[in-house]
Amino acid sequence: MTLRLFNTLTGQLDELVPMDGKALRMYACGPTVYDYGHIGNFRTFLQIDVLRRTLKLLGVPVRHVMNITDVDDKIIRNAAAQGITIGQYSAPFEQAFFEDLEALKVQRPEQLVRATEHIPRMVELVQRLAAAGAAYQAEDGSWYFRLSSFPEYGKLSKKDFSGMEDGARVDLDEYEKDSARDFALWKAAKPGETSWDTAIGRGRPGWHIECSTMSMEYLGESFDLHAGGEDLIFPHHENEIAQSESATRKPFARHWMHVRFLLVDGRKMSKSEGNFYTLRDLLLKGYKASAIRMALISVPYRHQLNFTFDGLAEATSAVERLRTFHQRLISTNWPEGDTHSTAGDAQAVSEAAETAKTKFRAALSDDLNTAEARAAIFDLVRAVNTQADCGNLFRREIPAILDALNQFDSVFDILEDTDAEPTRRALEYAEQAGRQADVAPELLARLSLSDEAIEALVAERATAKKQRNFARADQIRNQLAEKGVVIEDSKDGARWKRK
């Protein structure tokens, strides 16, 4: 099965296969580390994680490079305002970014590269563009890309720039969506700003040249896929294409993947609207990292996700259902069953597991349709639970079901409960940042009991039940429920979990 993925450049679904026949070479624009990442940023990184994992599931090796933009207008401005270097300013945000990715179980790319560690290579690319007649130096010493030298400009964003004004310039990293201007490749040093002394003068790189340089450095001048959020199509990715193809005269990335923006409660997420959330904000409200992952990947990447707290509650119970199902499968002593009389049922379950796997892969191969992929697994969960409830589930059927579940989890990655650690770190962050007031009371209540204390209460309840002291047993159950701990009785004893 081959992945068919929408390609912004061609405007259609194209097969995504490695052009060198070995590994899929992909570059994803990483974060600009000037603040904590918000859930819109993480939706993009999570959907790229879904892509990576799907390729691996389909047997395609991946070589994934991601940059860290640790020098740009915002970083320079904020560092200057605090009187510290850009490195001192960006380091904590870079660390926070990696902690957040880990919380969300986003796999690390094969290679992570920092802009500030590639300045000489960026300078060489500017020189190469100048030699090709595609770059010029302005009066202030800054270097600009000459847009009129690249007639294909606009081919990614499908914008028509034929009427553009020749020689008009813009030196901002991010600018208005409809202005086509000669853009800055290298910005001459301004007093008090971070700068590097180089062969093209003292200054610092523009944002776009960073990505052209680092992607081609590690993946070659032509590679398979370039990915990012939809806000990067113009001008960032359009400019990357212009720079790279003007220098090499070769096609840059063949395939372009863009993840759509999310809305929050139907509106654009913004600080002024009061609907702006970082990952940490949600963890402090008591939501689990696994549920946030589930919510952000369940809507396919080209669809607009409307993020709501109802949706997050739904994702929470979806994760819970799958974990309970998995636990039930592995911890129940399933009957052997009489081979003769149960052969038909066994076949039905095995077939359901096989169908679920096929549908799961087919959905992901079809432009990463995570919604359908997820539905295929929940269909299986329902079917198996029905059989189990009627006493029609047998030991020999379990491996096929577990196999389907494991395939699902190789992409969704929510079965293993590692939610305590991100929450613990978020609380640590709240303390350091003086944000204790933002911690949800339910979360504090949930955490006020240690695992050992819960074990002790569960054991005491078991004793109480044995002594037919049901009042005490119920009292303990309620006490635990108030702290968000649920007890489940089975014939093998009581299990507990935090809600």
Of 29 and 55, which CB lies nearer to Zn ion in the complex structure?
Answer: 29
Name the minimum Å distance from CB 213 to Zn ion.
10
Collect all residues with Cβ–Cβ distance below 8 Å to 319 and sequence separation of at least 6. 288, 290, 291, 294, 414
C-alpha span between 52 and 321 (Å, rounded): 26
Report which of 169, 268, 198, 228 is spatially closest to residue 45, judged by C-alpha positions. Answer: 228
Comparing CB distances to Zn ion, the nearer of 153 and 287 is 153
**Nearest approach, Cβ of residue 236 and Zn ion (Å):** 6
Q: In what order do the strands lie in the sheet with 111-114?
A: 111-114, 62-68, 24-28, 223-229, 253-259
Q: How far is the CB of 44 from Zn ion (least distance, A)?
A: 12
Tokens in use for 422? 């991100």
Select 106 or 211, whichever has its Cβ closest to Zn ion. 211
Query: What is the bridge-based pairing of β-strands 135-137 and 143-145?
Result: antiparallel
| Contact window for Zn ion (CB under 5 A) among 23-31, 82-90, 275-283, 309-317 | 23-31
DSSP state of 164: P
Under 8 Å between Cβ of 9 and 156: yes
Considering beta carbons, is residue 38 or 357 the nearer one to Zn ion?
38
Shortest spacing between CB 207 and Zn ion, in angstroms: 7
CB 110 → Zn ion: shortest distance, Å? 17
In the shown chain, the binding pattern of residues 269 to 308 toward Zn ion, with x for contact by CB under 5 A and - for none, equals: ----------------------------------------
Footprint of Zn ion on 104-143 (CB under 5 A): none
* Residue 29 vs 103, nearer CB to Zn ion: 29
Q: Which is nearer to Zn ion, 211 or 401 (CB)?
A: 211
Shortest Cβ distance from residue 175 to Zn ion (Å)?
A: 15
Span 24-83, contacts to Zn ion by CB under 5 A: 29
CA distance linking residue 131 with residue 146, whole number of Å: 12
CA separation for the pair 362, 4 (Å, rounded): 10
Backbone angles phi, psi at 178, to 5 degrees: -115, 5
Between residues 211 and 294, which has the closer beta carbon with respect to Zn ion?
A: 211
Smallest distance, Å, CB 76 to Zn ion? 17
Size of the site for Zn ion (CB under 5 A): 2
How is residue 48 annotated by DSSP? H
- 199-228 binders of Zn ion (CB under 5 A): 211
Instruction: Report the C-alpha gap between 414 and 356 in whole angstroms.
Output: 18
Complex with Zn ion: residue 213 or 387, whichever CB lies closer: 213
Beta-bridged to residue 201, according to DSSP, are 198
Within 10 Å of residue 416's Cβ, how many Cβ atoms?
11
Q: How far is the CB of 286 from Zn ion (least distance, A)?
A: 34
Evaluate whether 446 touches 482 at the Cβ level (below 8 Å).
Answer: no
Residues making contact with Zn ion (CB under 5 A)? 29, 211
